[in-house]
A = this chain, B = another copy of it.
Amino acid sequence: MTVKQLSLPELADACGRSGVGSVGLWREPVRAYGVEAAARLVRDAGLTVSTLCRGGFLTAGDPVERAEALGDNHAAVEEAAALGAEVLVLVSGGLPAGSKDLRGARERVADALSVLGPYAERHGVRLAIEPLHPMYASDRCVVSTLAQALDLAERFPAHQVGVAVDTYHVWWDDRAPAEIARAGAAGRIHTFQLADWTTPLPAGVLDGRGQIGDGSIDMREWKGYVEAAGYHGPMEVELFNEGLWARDGREVLAETTERFLRHVVR
């Protein structure tokens, strides 16, 4: 998503040239390209697929909508398996229209996971509940903190359901370091994503994630938390940023790689 202006073949080629060995893919471009063709493309390029983004949106109250959402998530699990992605990231969904019941919506996410978890396990895929920043609680994700995500995940085995830790969503939360330790101890950190916090936020607050190093987040600190919790898997830079999308994708990928090395690794 960071360089969504690149086609999948351009992305595979650019990752190879940049020394990026693992990539998180989104469902829409994968489906547009063809799942099997995309799987072959990344395999031939020597890339692994760290995660597939994203399933979820499991909060509907209407039974027909719920059944459709589950069906779509089953498809997402199958796509992840076909790509060799071990992890499917889930964004829970917001409040149904007119509802003010956050608790009820969170319970419906749990209900769906009781079906989706075993289905994912049969396909060799783990689910990662991603808590989104509280500014998305009404319209995108009723799971707002790592604590809430873990409370949900812990109802299921760790090899079925864990969490996604994304710096953009949790950086403000003084409880997050302890929750990362809790997640790590249970083997439930299923992916670690990085984006920086920059202001002012744009209208709609979706596409303002900052390039690594441009904002308020101490990336090394958060890398330290997940590593201390035993996580040594892929680190994904996931930026939604109109400014970056307007630039040359290969240039953005090179810049992002450099920023990652400078602000996260070194």
**In the complex, what's the smallest C-beta–C-beta distance from A230 to chain B, in angstroms?**
24
Instruction: Count chain A residues whose beta carbon lies closer than 8 angstroms to a beta carbon of B.
Output: 34
A185: CB under 8 A from chain B? no
**In the complex, what's the smallest C-beta–C-beta distance from A64 to chain B, in angstroms?**
23
B residues in contact with A101, CB < 8 Å? 218
Contact of A138 among B138, B139, B197, B221 (CB under 8 A): B197
A135: CB under 8 A from chain B? yes
B residues in contact with A67, CB < 8 Å? none
B203 touches A200 (CB 8 A): yes
Contact of A144 among B147, B172, B202, B216 (CB under 8 A): B172
B residues in contact with A200, CB < 8 Å? 139, 203-205
B residues in contact with A137, CB < 8 Å? 171-172, 197, 216
B residues in contact with A171, CB < 8 Å? 102, 137
How often does this chain occur in the complex, in copies?
2
Contact of A102 among B103, B133, B174, B202 (CB under 8 A): B174
B residues in contact with A203, CB < 8 Å? 200-203
B residues in contact with A201, CB < 8 Å? 135, 201, 203-205
**In the complex, what's the smallest C-beta–C-beta distance from A57 to chain B, in angstroms?**
16
Taken together as a complex, chains A and B put the C-alpha atoms of A70 and B116 apart, in Å, by 55
B103 touches A139 (CB 8 A): no
Taken together as a complex, chains A and B put the C-alpha atoms of A201 and B205 apart, in Å, by 7
Which residues of A approach B to under 8 Å, CB–CB?
A: 95, 99-103, 133-135, 137-139, 144-145, 147-148, 171-175, 197, 199-205, 215-218, 221
- Extra 12 A-B pairs, beta carbons < 8 Å, given A102-B171, A134-B135: A100-B217, A103-B174, A133-B135, A137-B171, A137-B172, A137-B216, A139-B199, A139-B200, A200-B203, A200-B204, A201-B204, A201-B205
